[in-house]
Amino acid sequence: HAQTEMNPALWTFLFCLARLAWFLVQLVFCYDGNQWPEVKRGHHVSTRDHWMVKPTQCILDAFNMQWITAVGEAEVQLALMNNAGIVDAVMIDDSDVFVFGAKTVLQNLTLSPNATIKMYTMSAIQEHVEPCLTGDVFVTMAICCGGNYNTAGQLSYRHFSH
């Protein structure tokens, strides 16, 4: 069957949505837009939508769950929404969203019954690690370290001019 390799990923997505639907939370899914870095982690980035975008949007519509498409990268959009108080937290595997102004990040989201979800807040980082860790310091660290964008530390200023 021509779509055999697609089905396991879509079934996993569907299963995750079914599990998340039991929680008393309102989810907002965000997809990457078409204005994003040409190079990320040293590789040229495709401008075409991932094959799962349309099918997952259809599934989200069927679940009556909200989804949006960012202008650029979804993590930037979600961080800005979190910073503005539009969403309470950002669920993501990494902490890059702090660079873009996120205040609360949820990680390690496995859907097993006894899973532990880690919550990181900018206020706790500033309180327990270093009070001077502000958005500007995170930007400087990202530029110096390279982050997700490439190994030479060339993070474009346009990422932060939203």
Strand-by-strand arrangement of the 118-121 sheet = 90-91, 104-107, 118-121
SS3 call for 58: helix
**Is residue 1 in some structural domain?**
no
Residue 18, both tokens: 């079914």
**Is residue 55 in some structural domain?**
yes
The H or E element that residue 47 is part of is none
Reported as a single tens digit per residue, the pLDDT across 93-125 is: 877 888 889 999 998 666 666 777 889 998 898
**Is residue 19 in some structural domain?**
yes
**Is residue 112 in some structural domain?**
yes
Q: pLDDT: is 159 or 131 the higher one?
A: 131
- What domain range includes position 23? 6-160
Number of compact structural domains in the chain: 1
Q: CA distances (Å), 108 to each of 35, 67, 131, 142, 160, in order?
A: 28, 21, 25, 22, 26
pLDDT given at position 111: 62
**Is residue 110 in some structural domain?**
yes
Is the full-model pTM beyond 0.85?
no
**Is residue 61 in some structural domain?**
yes
User: What confidence category does residue 57 fall into, taking pLDDT thresholds of 50, 70 and 90?
Assistant: very high
Could you tell me whether strands 66-69 and 118-121 are parallel, antiparallel, or unpaired per DSSP bridges? unpaired
CATH number of the domain enclosing 154: 3.40.50
